[in-house]
Amino acid sequence: MYPQSPAPQPPPSWPLPAPPPPDRRAWLGGAPLGGSDPPEYAFVEPSNPRRTIRSVAVAVLALGAAVAIAGTYLTWVTADIRGLGIRAGSGWNNVVGNVSYGPLVAFPAALAVFGCMGLLVVGWSRRWIWVIVAGLLGATAALVVQFVDISSPGRGVSAEFGVGMWVMVAGLATAWVALLVSVSVRVDDGASLRR
């Protein structure tokens, strides 16, 4: 025959001790095995709000540069050329079918996005800031040259700015403002700019 399990016992009538107060740090690993303390890296410390502001500013910077890259594919100019009619041009195909200044805006802006990823993933460093500044300067210079080119068409040509130019202006302006915010925020927790 099988052994019988003991009869269930009624709950104790005396009050149970109160649970200990929770630790102010959250532990991600669950209950420790064997009663050992959790490893040090498992604790989540409260974040520094200034570091959060700086990280958000760098993410907005990357988004602004990505918007500028997207603007290279939109219509930059609509031109009425005598003998050819009305033509639209983007950053990759100008009004006569050749490659325009799109790559000169897109590749430096992609360099700025790469620098932002370096800041967010690898760590805060002056080298990444210079990569971002170089990318934004290159993209802005190419955009200014294209603005001058569209503003002064040749004889027999009338040109109007397309939506792509304004998208790139908005993206690069956002990126520059976010760069200024991210560099101006001081974080005094040992994360100052390294070489």
Distance, CA of 180 to CA of 61 (rounded, Å): 10
Token pair for residue 187?
Answer: 């974080």
> Would you say residue 63 lies in a domain?
yes
Q: Please give the tally of structural domains in the chain.
A: 1
> Would you say residue 30 lies in a domain?
no
CA-based nearest residue to 149, from 165, 137, 171: 165
- Apex 163 CA angle, 157 and 166, nearest 5: 105
In this structure, what CATH number is given to the domain that contains residue 167?
1.20.140
| Domain carrying residue 63 | 48-184
> pTM here?
0.67
> Would you say residue 105 lies in a domain?
yes
In this predicted model, what pLDDT tens digit does every residue of 69-112 receive, in sequence order?
A: 999 999 888 887 776 777 788 888 877 667 788 889 999 999 99
In this predicted model, what pLDDT tens digit does every residue of 29-44 receive, in sequence order?
A: 555 555 555 555 555 5
- Apex 113 CA angle, 102 and 69, nearest 5: 25
